[in-house]
Structure 1
Amino acid sequence: MNEFWQHLSDTYPDSRINRGYWQLNEQTANGQLSTDKLQICPLSQYGFLAIEGPDSSKFLQGQTTCDWRAISTEQASLGSYCNIKGRMVISFLAGMASPESALLRLHADTADSGRDTLGKYIVFSKAKIRNAGAERVAIGINGKMARQSLMTIFDTLPSQAMAQVSSDNGIIVQLDEAGERFEYWGLCAQAIALWQQLSSTAEVCSANYWEALNISAGIGEVCANSQDMFIPQMLNYQVIGGVSFSKGCYTGQEVVARMQYRGKLKRRLYKAEVAEAARNYPAGTELYSGDSGDSGQSIGNLVSMVNGDTSSTLLAVLTAEAVTDGNIHFADSSAALSIEELPYPVPSKD
């Protein structure tokens, strides 16, 4: 437990971290809180890999799906690192703390394996990689008051989706076009100072609430339970900016490019709701189509899920055929998934 999490534990004695997610009391994460208020979420589910040195961007350019020529101290990007079969080992939000210091904000339970895998190849570069999760913290800031509140603290803010600002006080990444959703990445002392400044007027939300916002935005991520399970197109990364098809070679690139230009994607990401407060299934859990209890062939896998008071929302990678047939469910549940529209269009050829 680093200094920031100890501060939260002291400030909110009834809080806890459950399965990696910071929770306050019995607060649910159904995504229905009023965004008219400023909301802040401590994002305990996330950690950081720091890649530092003059070759940091060059190294990552040859390993990951995003184009590091476009990533800077002013521009962030979604991305992933894939194995040679094109399956995602880690997914991340990438930014630069300085021109020679890259950061990958990723699920904390994939940080060590991501470091170890990338570390096998970085020995040939003028760069080093380390797990920076003990020293750096992510905080989510959300709501119509988010920009106004941050402007009272920071001299400059990003002005469009995936833009970032790096300063002595930390890094801020704008996640949406409306400027109502931001992530802050800072060292522990910086994060404590920001939290103290914002929490006096903000609604403090459990980390699961941020996951609900990710689900609403159609952003799927890889965690330890889903490593090596999805190619980037299954999570719609070719649509939401997590894959560059013009950057050149990287690990798994042949498989990813062949799927984009010659293949037919049989499974992709869908947003859904279950009309009951279902059991909190872990990522990677298989889904089935047909009668409840059917032990036939799996038609997909859970990506992420949050429970509300009366229903659960989720992202899952499913076959198009199963979505058309309907009655998709978990193996031990009779509740069928209700498929909902994603907030962005997915080309029919995908």
Structure 2
Amino acid sequence: MHDSYTPAARDASDAPSAPISPQAQARLALDNTVSMELEQLGVLEISGTDAAKFLQGQTSAQVTLADGDFAPLTCFCSPKGRMLANAQLMRVEEGRLWLIMPRELREELKNHLAKFAVFYKVEIQPRDDLALLGLIGNNAPLLVESRLDIVPPTLWRQAGNDRIQVLRHPGPRPRLLICLAAASKDAIKETLANQATPVDPGVWELQDIKAGLAWLSASQRDTYLPQMINWEALGGISFKKGCYTGQEVVARAHFRGQVKKRLARAQLEGDALPAIGDAVNDAQGKRQGEVFKAQLDAYGQVEILAVLTTKALAEPLTVNGLRFKRLKLPYALERVDPEELAAQG
């Protein structure tokens, strides 16, 4: 269970503060800078002489692009091209790469990669000694620069030093992810709390939904082609690199136009959160997709990401009897090559 805070939580008061609702916390992020501990995310480290070479044969990213500046999105697939995990790849030093990814998938991905790692000089380990914090708000970049002495990076890039790394994620408000030693977490949280209101990590997940950014959960593992969650539209697939596990299926689906499902944004009437996997039905009650992720927004409405059949994208739809109102994605459904993103500087 996540701790909840009120805007007055920093005041010196003996009276306990009442928890505030997810709606109220989401509203704080509209006009204020907020901070949160990203308990849903973790770090999986790939290190050793062959770390980059090993990952090149396993991941959808062009690993050489992760150069300490550019930090590309990536994914790992089964031989059938279904995603086992997705992540952001960053290089912290020569022979040491970090995957920022859903915490609940780290152990399964480690076990999957270990089957191939025996042929390389490489170690794979979850970094439980690291913590991840989030900052959202117009003042977030200034706060990182003034409090942490780090010039904030631009989108999908990293900046920092041997103590703290900062990543920029998309969203309607500036959004920064801070990776640091767990032993330093409380001190940094206290430093940031002077100018950023602490909230629950669900606020970060709401911003993911608004950004059309879908992170797999354990129940969704080995279910979707990367393109079904628009991963190529976010620069998460290199179609210019050599082979990796599942590459042939992923490439064939792209070049032959065989992607039959797509990620969509929507709003549901009311404040009843659907569960991951709940059906999205058409007017005849036929299943046309499923809920991928859901959170309450600042106005008490449910915002969701859903994976839908492409033929259903223009049809009237419902989830648990609630009207499915489509919202615009903040990007075009077109291939974005990570090589071009990296070259933009």
TM-score, normalised via structure 2 length: 0.87
Matches within 5 A, 1:1-350: 25-29=19-23, 31-132=26-127, 134-176=128-170, 180-282=174-276, 284-291=277-284, 294=285, 296=286, 298-308=287-297, 310-326=300-316, 328-330=317-319, 333-347=320-334
Deviation at 1:200? 1.9
- Other structure's SS at 1:324 match: coil
Change (3 A) 1:285 1:123: farther
Q: Does the Cα contact within 8 Å between 1:86 and 1:231 map onto a contact in 2?
A: yes
Separation of aligned partners in 2, 1:340 and 1:177: 14
The Cα shift of 1:31 comes to 4.1
- When residues 202 and 10 of structure 1 are mapped into structure 2, their CA distance, relative to the original with a 3 A threshold, is closer
2:12 equivalent in structure 1: none
User: Amino acid of the residue matched to residue 205 of structure 2?
Assistant: E
Ranges in structure 2 where 5+ consecutive residues have no aligned partner: 10-17, 336-345
In 2, the alpha carbon distance for the partners of 1:76 and 1:190 equals 23
Q: What is the DSSP-based 3-state SS (H/G/I as helix, E as strand, rest coil) of the residue aligned with 1:159?
A: coil
Q: Which moved more, 1:156-165 or 1:78-87?
A: 156-165
- Distance, in Å, in 2 between the alignment partners of 1:202 and 1:229 is 38
- Paired AA for residue 304 in structure 1: K
Change (3 A) 1:44 1:280: farther
Structure 1 residue 301, shift from structure 2 partner: 2.1
State the alpha-carbon separation in 2 of the partners of residues 47 and 81 from structure 1: 16
User: SS of the residue aligned with 1:69?
Assistant: helix
Distance 2:51 2:93 in 1: 11
Q: CA deviation at 1:152?
A: 1.4
**What is the distance in 2 between the residues matched to 1:11 and 1:32?**
13
1:190, distance to aligned residue in structure 2 (A): 2.4
Structure 1 gaps of 5+ residues are 16-23
Is the CA contact (8 Å cut-off) linking 2:202 and 2:295 kept in structure 1?
Answer: yes
The amino acid that maps onto 2:293 is S
Deviations, residues 21-56 of structure 1 (Å, cap 9, x unaligned): xxx934315844344422111111112211111211
* Count of residues in correspondence between the two structures: 323
Instruction: Return the offset for 1:345.
Output: 1.1
**Counterpart-to-counterpart distance in 1, 2:5 and 2:232:** 41
After TM superposition, give the deviation of residue 93 of structure 1 in Å.
Answer: 1.3
**Structure 1 CA distance for aligned equivalents of residues 270 and 30 of structure 2:** 24
Using the size of structure 1 for normalisation, the TM-score is 0.86
- Going from structure 1 to structure 2, the CA distance change for 1:241 and 1:183 (only over 3 Å counts) comes to same
In 2, Cα distance between equivalents of 1:77 and 1:115: 20
CA distance in 2, matches of 1:56, 1:102: 7
Task: Decide whether aligned partners of structure 1 residues 9 and 339 sit closer, same or farther in structure 2, where only a CA change above 3 A counts.
Answer: closer
Alignment partners' CA distance in 1, 2:171 and 2:305:
22
Contact 1:55 1:126 in 2 (8 A): yes
- Structure 2: how far apart are the matches of 1:237 and 1:31? 26
Asked if 1 retains the 8 angstrom alpha-carbon contact of 2:167 and 2:178, the reply is yes
Q: Residues 143 and 9 (structure 1 numbering): CA distance in 2 closer, same or farther, change over 3 Å?
A: closer
The structure-2 alpha-carbon separation of the partners of 1:323 and 1:163, relative to structure 1 and needing over 3 Å to count, comes to: same
Q: Which residue type is aligned with residue 234 of structure 2?
A: I
Q: CA deviation at 1:9?
A: 6.5
Q: Which amino acid in the other structure matches residue 318 of structure 2?
A: H
User: Could you tell me how far apart the structure 2 residues matched to 1:31 and 1:257 are?
Assistant: 38
Cα 1:94–1:25 change in 2 (3 A) is farther
Residues 265-314 of structure 1: CA deviation (Å, up to 9, x unaligned) = 211010000011123412x33322125xx3x4x31122111134632001
Instruction: Write the letter of the residue equivalent to 1:113.
Output: E
Determine what percentage of the aligned residue pairs are the same residue.
27
Give the Å deviation of 1:177: 9.2
Measure the CA separation in 2 of the matches of 1:46 and 1:128. 20
What RMSD over aligned residues (CA atoms) do the two structures have, in Å?
A: 2.5
Change (3 A) 1:339 1:246: same
CA distance in 1, matches of 2:67, 2:46: 13
